Structure 1
Amino acid sequence: MSDTVKISTFNSHPDTQVMRESPLALSYRSTGRPEASEHSGVTLRERPLCGHLILRGGAIVLDQALRDVLGIGLPGQPLGLVTASGGEISAQWLSPDEWLLIVPEGDEFEVENRLRAVLGDAHYAISNVSGGQTLLELKGEKVRELLMKSVVYDVHPDNFPAGKAVTTVFAKTTAILRRPDDTRWELVVRRSFADYLWRWLLDAGEEYGIGALP
């Protein structure tokens, strides 16, 4: 019996032109996007349709594969987050053998195939979950106050420095809360909860003059 394992990969960006919409497209049409101004204590921006890949396997082989393909390694500590290319590429710890890799829109299929080629017969798994998640970026001097009303996790700078990311309860759902740098926070949310989180953020941020950026 052959030991060969066949892997099926799927390109979520085929050559055929089809209409694609952000997970928040309906939210924009139904609730609108409050315009950001110089007085906005919080600004909110969606980074839709990025490539989201779940990596599982041994840290050493995956770290080397990422360095060979993208020039970025895995975070060295639990709850760690590393970024490159101005934040367009990131690798985040999810569990002892699981990481979330985010790459620019349209790059995920190529990155997956290049990783598979480098990893060869190593013991690993790569899952493309791009269609099921979206990323929201929050900036402004009042972001931490908004988060304190929304999340159960302690977001004090002493407990949540830049380069940290956690899966936690946000409002009444689960989300990934990340802090890539000192000026920016991110939420990775499931597509099915995107509208709920959007409405929550607009309501919780109203007192801070929250505004949305394109």
Structure 2
Amino acid sequence: MPDLPTSKPVLAGKIVLRSETIRLEALPEGHLLHVMGATTSEEITTHLLAVGLKESSVRPAGYRQWFVVGNEQLAQSQRQALANALSGRAFICDQSHGRIRILVSGPDAARMLNKGTALDLYPSSFPEGCSAMTLFGHISVQLTRTGMNDFELTVLRSFAESLYEELEALTRSHGAERLAL
């Protein structure tokens, strides 16, 4: 029987860049669930807590659509427990294998990201917890503000390397260098 292909993180080996004002890093390929249906983010959050997913966050992804993201990989039993909890109200589609998350943080993060997207990233217009589907250059991403100076970009797996390389160039233009391990 031939060996089955092994899963390799798409951004494995990508370096973390940082300066005093900016940081770029690939996040773990944990989980990303696409939830669709007649529910609310509050209801999803309640069900996440009930099935033991306290570290996951819920992000709007369109009309009656949300992404549930986290750094840990989920067991089939956890996904099934969430699907059962939302049964009759929403459906879940596991997108963990198809989307990659990248973190851009630091005081210059918003200014740097504005070089690639048309979103107004001022905190009054795009506060912490806000999420939007947008383009970064020619690549479609979901951009989420996860902290005052922290942004997470979620991108389709096939575009992850290209996006990361664009972000590397922008980060280096802000004086960032390879993080010493």
Report the TM-score range of the alignment, normalised by the length of the smaller protein. Answer: 0.7 to 0.9
Per the alignment, residue 9 of structure 2 pairs with 22
Pairing 1:65–2:42 present: no
Structure 2 residue aligned with 1:163: 129
Partner Cα distance (1:34, 1:65) in 2:
34
Structure 1 or 2: larger helix share? 1
Deviation of 1:172 after TM superposition, in Å, equals 1.0
Match for residue 48 of structure 1?
Answer: 28
Q: Flag the 1:184–1:35 CA change in 2: closer, same or farther, 3 A.
A: closer
Q: CA deviation at 1:110?
A: 3.0
CA distance in 1, matches of 2:71, 2:20: 28
1:192 aligns with 2:145: no
C-alpha distance in structure 1 between counterparts of 2:72 and 2:108, whole Å = 29
**Equivalent in 117, 124, 148 of residue 151 of structure 1:** 117
TM superposition shift of 1:112: 1.2
Letter in 1 for 2:51: V
Counterpart residue number, 1:92: 59
Pick from 57, 64, 83 the counterpart of residue 116 of structure 1. 83
What is the distance in 2 between the residues matched to 1:180 and 1:94?
A: 15
- Deviation per residue, 1:161-183 (Å, 9 max, x gap): 11101000111110011011113
The CA deviation at 1:109 is 2.6
Letter matched to residue 81 of structure 2:
R
- CA RMSD in angstroms comes to 2.6
**Amino acid corresponding to residue 34 of structure 2 in structure 1:** I
Query: Deviation of residue 119 (structure 1)?
Result: 3.4
Deviation (angstroms), 1:137:
0.9
Aligned pair partner of 2:144 in 161, 178, 193: 178
CA-to-aligned-CA distance 1:80-119 (integer Å, 9 cap, x gap): xxxx53xxx1101112311100133322533211112323
Contact in 1 for aligned 2:15/2:25 (Cα 8 Å): no
- Larger-gyration structure (1/2): 1
Q: What's the secondary structure of 2:114's corresponding residue? A: helix
Q: 1:47 is aligned with what amino acid?
A: L
Map of 1:101 onto structure 2:
68
Give 1:155's aligned amino acid.
L
1:152 Cα shift?
1.3
Runs of at least 4 residues of structure 1 off by over 6 A? none
1:135, 1:188 within 8 Å by CA — same for their partners in 2? yes
Unaligned runs of 5+ in 2: none
Structure 2 partner of 1:79: none
Contact 2:129–2:145 (8 Å) recurs in 1: yes
Is contact 1:90-1:103 (8 Å) kept? yes
